[in-house]
Structure 1
Amino acid sequence: MGSSSVSPLIVTGGKGGDVGVHDFRYIATRIPKKHKNSDNDEQKFSASSTAGLHNKHRDQNGNGMLWYIPKAHSGFFLTGSKDRDVKLWDAKRAKLVYHWQKHAR
C-alpha cells in the first residue's frame, strides 16, 4: 500500500446543504472532540457545499477502491451546490480557502 497514511477525517454532507467534518479517532473511542473555528463554534460548514479534492491518490483493496488525501493535502476538501458554487475548505482551520461562483459544468 505504500508509505502514505489515510487521513482520519470524514466529511459528510446533508440534504439541506450542511457539511460536517468528523474524526475517526474519536468516533472509534466514542469520546467526542469538537473542533473550534475562529468564532468558537463547533466545526460545521453550512454552505452550498460537497466533498473532494482534485489531487487525490487511489489504491486497490479487497473491497474495491480506497480514496485518500495525501498527507501534504490532508484537511482540504471541495464542496458544491445546486446553485453551481464550488468552495475549497481547510478543515484544520475551519476556514473557506476559495469560492468559485456559478461554476460551469
Structure 2
Amino acid sequence: MMRSTTISPTWKSALLRASEILRFKKTTAAQSPAFHNAGSVSYLSNGPLLEMNSIICSEFKETDNEFGDGGAVGIFTEDYVDQDDLYPYVPEKRIPQDATVVTQVRSHLR
C-alpha cells in the first residue's frame, strides 16, 4: 500500500529523498528559461544541515564568433544569494553553502 505525503504550500516545493540527502526546489514567479532561483537543503547521516540558495543564469548561441570560434557556445553562471527575505537563512539550524560557478561549453569539430 502506498502512503501519500502532503508538502507544505508555504514552500511550494518538490521534495526528493535519495540515500540520506534531502533537497527542496523553490519555484519562482518569473518563469524565464535564462534565469532561475534554486535552493536546496541537504544533510548526511553524520553531519549538519547544509543550505544553498543561488541564482542561475544561462545563455546559448548556435553561432558565436566572439567566444565560440563560429560554432555553438553555452555559458552557465551561478552565484549565491546573500539576502532572501522570502526564504531567509537560519544559521542556528543550517550552515549556508555559498558558491560562485562559471562554466563555458563550446563545440569542437575534428
TM-score, normalised to structure 2, is 0.28
Which one has the bigger helix percentage?
Answer: 1
TM-score, normalised to structure 1, is 0.29
Structure of higher CA gyration radius: 2
